[in-house]
Amino acid sequence: ADGDPVLAALARDAFQPLSVADHAARHGMTPTELRTAVRRAAGCSPKDYLLTVRLGRAKELLAATELPVAAVARRVGYDDPAYFSRLFTRRVGTAPIRFREQQGRSVHGGWSNVVPDPEHPPTIHPRSV
């Protein structure tokens, strides 16, 4: 939200089943005023901004938890896990399950089944801190 009160409020309420008109009304704005404010602050429509927030949180949950995809979908505001999976795949470029699998391999310090050798402990590279 970068300090913008409208974006902060949208991000806070992003996981609730509200339309753009509902969000606008909650902030005492018309949908047009909300669209203008969000486009000025974030460079996209309110719908795209909300989708970005939802998918960002979904990525965090997929990478950091073992929650089933259906549970992740519900936590980020989608009642239909199949719809969520199609949307995630279309926007992120990979299915939620594949995204989770890739995180263990591609994230520095990702998951491992190997116990570190005490004689050769893992090192932390400065750029990853």
Q: What is the pLDDT of residues 25-34, one digit of tens each?
A: 998 999 999 9
E strand or H helix that includes residue 71: helix 69-75
Residue 115 inside a domain? The answer is no
Instruction: Report the chain's C-alpha Rg in angstroms.
Output: 18
Contacts 24+ apart (CB under 8 A), 19-25: 20/46, 20/47, 20/50, 23/50
Q: What is the pLDDT of residues 102-129, one digit of tens each?
A: 986 544 544 444 555 566 655 555 554 4
Give the chain's domain count: 1
**Which residues, in sequence order, are CB contacts of 1 under 8 Å at separation 6+?**
7, 8, 10, 11
Q: Containing domain of residue 27, as a range?
A: 5-106
The pLDDT value given to residue 17: 87
CATH number of domain containing 94: 1.10.10.60
Could you give the CA distance from residue 81 to residue 58 in angstroms, rounded to a whole number?
12
pTM assigned to the model: 0.75
The pLDDT value given to residue 115: 55
Could you give the CA distance from residue 18 to residue 23 in angstroms, rounded to a whole number?
6
Residue 127 inside a domain? The answer is no
**Pick from 108, 97, 109: which is nearest to 62 by CA?**
97
Residue 128 inside a domain? The answer is no
Residue 22 inside a domain? The answer is yes
> How high is the mean pLDDT of the chain?
85
The pLDDT value given to residue 126: 53
